Chain A
Amino acid sequence: MLLVIYLVSLVLGLLVALPFYNTLRAETGRSLAFDALLDGFDYTVFTDFMHVHGKAISPLLSVGRWVSVVYLFLSLFFTGGILMRFAEPNRYVSMGAFWQACSHYFRRYLALFALVALTVALLAFIWLLTGTLLVMAFSDTLSERELFWIGFSCFLAFVLMATLVLCIGDYAKVDMMRRDEPNALRAFARASLLVIRHGRRTWGLYWLLLLISTGWFAVYLAFEGAIGMSSWTAIVLVFLIQQLFIFGRIGLKVVTLGVAWQVFDRLVPPPPVVYAGPVLTEATTTTANDPINGEPVEPTSGTGDTEKTAD
């Protein structure tokens, strides 16, 4: 699963990078000027290049933006499959079942994403407005430094609240799967209460994972700085480190969802209904309604762990 997601990210990235490489090779021609870039950024080489060839590069960078948006929706799509893995920790889940879960929950998570994105955008607007009004109100009385801290505090408040909303979003995803909840708003509301009641175990862990991610980034930058990219060997080495880093980041995102599942499991008693996740192809009989095909689902027997009973 992790490898699949990584490969998707790599393929999408290559959609930008390969044309970029070819375009760059064609546009730079046989000039020696670009050798200066091996030792670091060179303003003259860069600006001369962009002035002449900027129009050839801009569309490729634009593709990068679109590819990122595509990946955003693919990530939404993958979420159902990832969470299903955590729902079935002791059982082999085929790729077919993985894709089935992905597609099953996609619409629900899309609605949840819309809710989360709207809330984050609303928060951004509120804090931008608050910051602007505060800075305007105190611009005659406070110093530059104090005004900066007012603005920065508003930004910090936005970041804290945005991470809270994103954390709630993760728990809402778990809630939607655990309770087979089709309504994103209800799941978000329940998850909000849960996260606020258990802030340290939910939001605190979320921040811990964010800090780990940031720490990795710092480690990467230190590696890149130390190795440099001034020779073929160094370029290949840094490329491998970069891809390892990206793989790690994808893993961290998966772990974040896994942590949310585990914490949710511990904090919320399982609902008094039969677990109604997507039926795996190996399942034999079911009694509850299958949310995918609507057929009655019988409790499974044998080694499969495709159901959870009520308390």
Chain B
Amino acid sequence: MKRLRWFLIVTMLPVWGQTPVVAQSLSPRIANYQIQVELNPATKRLTGRETLVWRNPSADVIRELQFHLYLNAFKNQQSSFMRESGGQLRGEYIDAGNKEAYGFIDVLSMRVRNGENLTPKIQFFQPDDNNADDQTVIRVPLSKPVGPGETITLDIAFRAKLPQIFARTGYSRDFFLVGQWFPKIGVYEPAGTRYAMQGQWNTHQFHANSEFYADFGVYDVNITAPREYWVSATGQMQGETANRNGTKTIRFRAEDVVDFAWTASPHFEVVEDKWRHVKIELLLQPEHRYQAQRHLDAAKAALAYFDKHLGRYPYSTLTIVDPPLHASGAAGMEYPTFITAGTTWGLPQGIRFAEMVTVHEFGHQYFMQLLASNEFEEAWLDEGFNQYYEGRIMDETYGRKSSVVNWLGLRMGDFEMSRDAYVHLDNPAIGPSFGNTWQLPEGYYGVLTYNKTATWMKTLEGLLGRPLMDEVMRTYFNRWKFKHPAAKDFIAIVNEIVPRRLSYRYGPDMNWFFEQILYGDQVCDYELKAVRNSKQGANYRSTITVYRRGDARMPVEVQVHFDDGSEQRLQWDGKARYRTFMLTQPARADWAKVDPDRKLYIDTNLNNNSYAVRASAAPVAKYTAKLLFWVQNVMQWLAWLA
């Protein structure tokens, strides 16, 4: 169903301060933008004017402002982003020899409304790495400081050239995904915010392995594009004006969000649906139209799950963009109320990558947008938490052991996939999840941030139990939504709730867990080493030996099954290198398992968690027969050549 938006001539012109879509302010609304931007599809350039109203949230006197110019990461090969990435991100490469592949943003002018011209005072600086060639951050000294609680209004003119898509944003042929495209003010952290001991700007350069950090605000954006282009964006569409020169101007307004992104293409197939109060707009490539229901079902499953287990999605729109295959670098990205998914024609029903990406990117509406953590410094807090919820939603919606792949006899669950990525690293002790993203061990950003975090969150859930885990997460959400939470804030909530609810089973706090798993690089592996039985009078003495093979120390249970069918559960604090349990029973121990409920999902080898006195050879025989059969088949296939 294509909307012919350009037939509508909406008389309502953009007016700053118009009646908000959401009646009451949900967030502090510190950085508020009104932007007029025009896209030239031929030159891939944007021309924009931006009015920024920024409020000083601190008790400090602010004498300079800092801004991100993210698009300058693609200006040349010398930016920190390009140096770190080598011109490659998520398997996509920039066409280094093609100057049209690069992008940039220039601030043409910057003035305080009715005041100082700041343009000549703009300075590039590099707070992270002193790379003088990096131009992704600027600072602007103010002659007239901004006092505590005061606002400043700036009028900024800018022009930008979009890069050829290889890292989330840019163009590919006539498809445009426009993210991080305007001069965006950094976050001023008042004393007490996150780790700030005193008020400070937190404005990092754009790194290969980092995303973003921004304050909440209201965005009122007018986008001018050719009439034949379909344009969608963060927030709600307010109206559309047809211009005489063959273009149209569409106005979008988004409240209480941290960013604004948009897309334009003449080829979208648009499908609309609704989930409770949320209008879902799905922009598909024509050849993916038949997969619309897969995307919609996944989005609705995610909406319902988060609504039930974490909190309400407060916005009235959700836009899902399906980029074309030639723009796959734009796939799998999140912006407020606006996400990109990604699929291919012919993707089998049993391979649920489209669903997985949709669920994941929607999850960022909570972990990134509503809980606006610092993605430069604590990426695990959004990516890892979100990966954990992706696992929960996928596994509970599509099957625990088959949620991602259920095809031709192969099955893989989402949590299984996350765990596999981390525990089967060549060196799982390579580093912690915590840390500045650009300083994590090279090549391990994804696994430490996404997969390790999801796996230890699942472990935390195992230790706490699902109801208590949900209580922790709901408290975290309710307390920190529309704010900037940090690790310490999450841990404080865990320590506030868990000891009390579990009668101090794990001690006065859970710091021991986070020190090993979040801040530390300890590796967890418990092994049920042996079960021995010996006759002792009328009874049997069973000896069960458990090893701690890793350096992580976790409390574990040991389940012992006897040959008369009875069972016994034993507790171990898991601290010593090994523990031997001796039991005297009328029956012999048949088998034993350490961590029988798989609470310690972070255990790097679950196969060594059990020991049977009489283990069956049937599984081995089964796979030997299969191997023999397939080897013989390969022989026969080759024989057709002979």
Surface stretch bound by A, among B236-244, B374-382, B405-413: B405-413
A13 to B424, CA, bound (A): 31
Cβ-based interface call for B620 (8 A): yes
Which of A13, A17, A32, A238 contacts B635 (CB under 8 A)?
A13
* Contact residues in B for A45 (Cβ distance below 8 Å): 606-607
Known: A43-B401, A113-B641. A231 touches B618 (CB 8 A): yes
Size class of the A contact interface (CB-based, 8 Å) = 35 or more
**A34 to B615 Cα, complex, angstroms:** 10
Nearest chain B CB to A39 CB, angstrom units: 10
Give B593-610 interface residues, CB cut-off 8 Å to A: 593, 604-610
- Contact across chains for A9 and B635 when beta carbons are under 8 A apart: yes
**Nearest B residue (CB) for A71:** B635
Given contacts A72-B641, A117-B641, whether A32 and B591 have CB atoms under 8 Å apart is yes
Stretch from A22-30, A273-281, A290-298 forming part of the interface with B: A22-30
Give the nearest-CB partner of A143 in chain B.
Answer: B287
**Closest partner residue, chain B, to A76 (CB atom):** B642
Answer whether residue B566 sits at the interface, using C-beta atoms and an 8 A cutoff: no
Contact A30 B611 (CB under 8 A): yes
Do the beta carbons of B631 and A16 come within 8 Å of each other?
Answer: yes
Residues of B within 8 A of A49 (CB): 607
Task: Return the chain B residue nearest A152 by Cβ.
Answer: B346
> In the complex, what residue of chain A is closest to B325 when comparing beta carbons?
A144
> B residues 375-432 with Cβ under 8 Å of A?
401, 409-413, 416-417, 419-420, 423-424
Q: Is the CB of A34 within 8 A of B606?
A: no
Once bound together, how far apart are the Cα atoms of A13 and B627, in whole Å?
9
Our pick among B409, B419, B611 for the contact of A31 (Cβ within 8 Å) is B611
Q: Is B639 an interface residue (CB 8 A)?
A: yes
Q: How far is the CA of A239 from the CA of B423 in the complex (A)?
A: 35
**B613 — which chain A residues lie within 8 A by C-beta?**
30
Indicate the member of B420, B629, B631, B636 with the most A CB atoms within 10 Å.
B631
Q: In the assembly, what is the distance between CA of A49 and CA of B641, in Å? A: 35
Flag if B416 contacts A43 (CB, 8 Å): yes
Q: Which of A86-94, A188-196, A242-250 contacts B (4 or more CB under 8 A)?
A: A242-250
B345 within 8 A of A: yes
B624 engages A48 (CB within 8 Å) = no
Report A175 CB to chain B, min CB distance, Å. 16
Known: A49-B607, A250-B636. A41 touches B409 (CB 8 A): yes
13 contacts between A and B (CB under 8 A): A9-B636, A12-B635, A31-B610, A32-B611, A34-B620, A38-B619, A42-B411, A43-B420, A52-B605, A144-B325, A145-B346, A235-B621, A242-B628
Using a CB–CB distance below 8 Å, which chain B residues touch chain A? 173, 285-287, 324-326, 344-346, 401, 409-413, 416-417, 419-420, 423-424, 591, 593, 604-613, 615-629, 631-636, 638-642
Besides the contacts A25-B620, A235-B625, A246-B632, what 19 more A-B pairs have beta carbons closer than 8 Å?
A: A13-B631, A16-B631, A32-B591, A32-B611, A40-B409, A41-B409, A41-B410, A42-B401, A47-B424, A48-B605, A64-B634, A71-B638, A76-B642, A109-B642, A116-B641, A143-B286, A235-B622, A245-B629, A246-B633
Q: Which residues of A contact B (CB under 8 A)?
A: 9-10, 12-14, 16-17, 20-21, 24-25, 28-35, 37-38, 40-45, 47-49, 51-52, 64, 67-69, 71-73, 75-76, 79, 109, 113, 116-117, 120, 139-140, 143-145, 148, 166, 229, 231-232, 235, 238-239, 242, 245-246, 249-250, 253
Which A-B residue pairs are the 3 nearest by beta carbons?
Answer: A75-B642, A17-B628, A32-B610
